Structure 1
């Protein structure tokens, strides 16, 4: 309620490690939307924690999508925990199983690495190159960065994806601005 009253343009439920908690948040959001008659775009973003391809509560990316798709988000995606290189197969899977919504991806700047200058594995050039590949392959619509990314990362990402078209989605949205 406070987010809507404060002028939020979108509701973002992110860094989801536990789908049950996410479903509780989505239920509360839906209850508010129904009671208030207001409705904002909803973005849902899970977090794959390791090479198992599962969020911490044990679900695969496909199972995660099927658990939250009832909320009809304008976008579903993945963020945090992994760098873009390690996130690629999970973004590919999500793009495959969720053809009717936009896909977001905002990875860490790689994995934490105390030996690197930035404390993470991926430089701005690395992260932007990888996210450019995702966009060029038609996997994503919304890109950015999470832990370890800097303004230089975000600037580099914006520069390389700006000329590209987003992933094609066939869907009727409940608000015209999303289309």
Structure 2
């Protein structure tokens, strides 16, 4: 579909750098099969069928008492049992990939809370918490080290230098790997330069850990920085990601065409769909998500039909949503 050209100096950099989206299908370079990768990741893919990921962490923490503006990552140390309970809920719902409580665990975000000297501690602890719950549940699930954006804008539109970004992500990834994660999940990215820096940073920390990379798309079908699903698919696979897709956004209806477009240009890729539980609404200064478990279960079937292999949920979701999604997908349920 056509769209208005971005205003000069606003969103063009990523889209132009990504190249045209009309080229023929690309072949996914599946690092899990052709390169060094985690054996647990390879084994999970080899099982066949859809893979149920987990759901929200942040909104679950808010429901447990986290105050708006406070860093969720601090709860890995101050309230570890709450974090563990959230992981446990998703595992009991059937999730095979659980993400660490480290979305904002890079030093640039943590600096806002004077926690930038505790990057290693907070990320490593988060990985250990998730690993302990996975092991207690039988060890069938994978632990994904969650890496979100820095919160800064990459140069030349912003001030974040590419080399610094790589170093920031490498520091976080190294701590997650030290804590025992099976994969790294880079999520909620809008800028190809930033997600590219994140992938390079992860590779500095580990040459073998598998990488899941997902971007966030708006109602127009583009990221905030003007990246299309086709451009994202090409760039992420060329950068060496093992699985690609979309997360967050405005609900499953917005993410479904994103998955379809990625599947069209990368039919062999492991595709990921992890949408919010509907479009957020502001109620009493809190975001409220209206999509109930049956709605998300129906969405899961749509994602699978569109080509997604890894299917989960993002903001506003709960273990109840994931349980309904898993049942709809026919994935094995623990117990």
**TM-score scaled by structure 2?**
0.44
**Partner of residue 198, structure 2:** 25
Relative contact order (C-alpha < 8 Å, sep 6+): which is higher? 2
> CA RMSD, aligned part only?
1.9
**Partner of residue 292, structure 2:** 123
**Partner of residue 221, structure 2:** 53
Deviations 1:78-112 (A, max 9, x none): 00012112211111101111222211101000101
Q: Which moved more, 1:101-110 or 1:125-134?
A: 125-134
**Partner of residue 270, structure 2:** 102
| Distance across 1 between alignment mates of 2:191 and 2:306 | 28
From 313, 317, 324, the equivalent of 1:156 is 324
8 A contact 2:199–2:241 mirrored in 1:
no
| Distance across 1 between alignment mates of 2:315 and 2:251 | 9
What is the correspondence of 1:58-69 to structure 2 with a 5 Å cutoff? 58-69=226-237
| Distance across 2 between alignment mates of 1:143 and 1:27 | 25
- Residue 93 (str. 1) matches residue 261 (str. 2): yes
From 142, 152, 156, the equivalent of 2:310 is 142
Query: Structure 1 3/163 Cα, relative in aligned 2: closer, same or farther at 3 Å?
Result: closer
| Distance across 1 between alignment mates of 2:204 and 2:318 | 36
8 A contact 1:114–1:120 mirrored in 2:
no
**Partner of residue 7, structure 1:** 180
Unaligned runs of 5+ in 2: 1-173
8 A contact 2:244–2:269 mirrored in 1:
yes
Unaligned runs of 5+ in 1: 165-179
Structure with max Cα Rg: 2
Q: Cα distance, 1:32 vs. partner?
A: 3.0
More helix by share: 2
| Over 4 Å off, 4+ runs | none
